[in-house]
Amino acid sequence: MKDDLDNKINRFDDRLDSLETSQAEQDEKLLSIRETTLSRCKDLEKKLPQLIREIVDIRIELFQESLKKIEILVSQVLNRLKP
């Protein structure tokens, strides 16, 4: 009887140890993922202002091109309206 109880306790301890080991491994993996993600976010945060500037510059350039095209069209229309 005592041996059975000792065996059960030992098996329970083994399972508990296995669970703790597995949990520690999972915690380590999650910590690694978190650190990688944090590092990538910091890199992106550093690049973000430059990316925003580039986007704004491109939009301004495209807007200016559109204005030039409108100016040309208006000029063409006005030339056609001249007697």
d(CA 1, CA 13) in angstroms, rounded, equals 18
pLDDT at 56: 97
DSSP assigned state of 1: -
Structure tokens at 23: 């949990």
Predicted TM-score (pTM) of the model is 0.56
Segment (H or E) for 13: helix 2-81
pLDDT digits (tens, 9 = 90+) for 54-83: 999 999 999 999 999 999 999 999 999 887
Q: Could you give phi then psi for residue 82, rounded to 5 degrees?
A: -70, 140
